[in-house]
Amino acid sequence: MKRFAEVERKTRETQITAEFTIDGTGENDISTGIGFFDHMLTLFSVHGFFDLRLRAKGDIDVDYHHTVEDVGLVLGEALTIALGDRKGIRRYGHAVTPMDDAISTVTIDLANRPFLVYAIPDIFTCQAEVYSNLFKEFFRAFANKSGMNLHISAPYGENDHHLIESIFKSFARALDQAVSIDDRVRCVHSSKGIL
């Protein structure tokens, strides 16, 4: 069965549509109006092997915040829909990814208990006027909408672009693990019997 979702979100601040396939090849067609964000979402698609078509129009003349956060909400909702009852998934994922001078670790639990830990150096203010704290809001929105316990840690790095890129690659790789099917999991991977 194809694990796929199509989500649309329209507010006074943003209009977003997304088509998301879990079991893809990394094909993508992404446009948010924010070049650096498009680059990061492309990395997410490619390194997670997720097919993603995303169109976002937002009030970026005011700030990038609404667009970045709302894309996180849409992708989190898409993941929830595509996962369905979550039967058979590994549930946990973990990845460590270097990017030149920077390195990051992302650990995920898809247990329907949303929580975000986002520990990166305070010195970073990301390129192209997209600030690193905006990505915290993206990941918080994604985690909340998808029921994801998400821990992001980046202990060091000299280049803000490299640091954020490392995080998105780690996130993609960890999520690819967590959503993968394990034949040993008969129902859901929990002693409670539910997630």
Token match 């088509």: residue? 19
> In the predicted model, is pLDDT for residue 125 greater than 60?
no
pLDDT classification of 189: cutoffs 50, 70, 90: confident
Q: Average pLDDT in the 46-59 region?
A: 98
CATH of 4-179, one of 3.30.230.40, 3.90.190.20, 1.10.10.10, 3.40.50.720: 3.30.230.40
In 100-160, at which residue ranges do the beta strands (DSSP E only) sit?
A: 102-109, 115-119, 149-156
Contact between 168 and 40 under an 8 Å Cβ cutoff? The reply is yes
Q: Average pLDDT in the 68-74 region?
A: 98
Question: HEC profile for 4-28?
Answer: EEEEEEECCCEEEEEEEECCCCCCE
Q: Could you state, in order of their start, the residue ranges of all structural domains in the chain?
A: 4-179
Residue, of 181 and 195, whose pLDDT is higher = 181
Contacts for 133 with CB less than 8 Å, ≥ 6 apart: none
**Residue 128 pLDDT:** 47
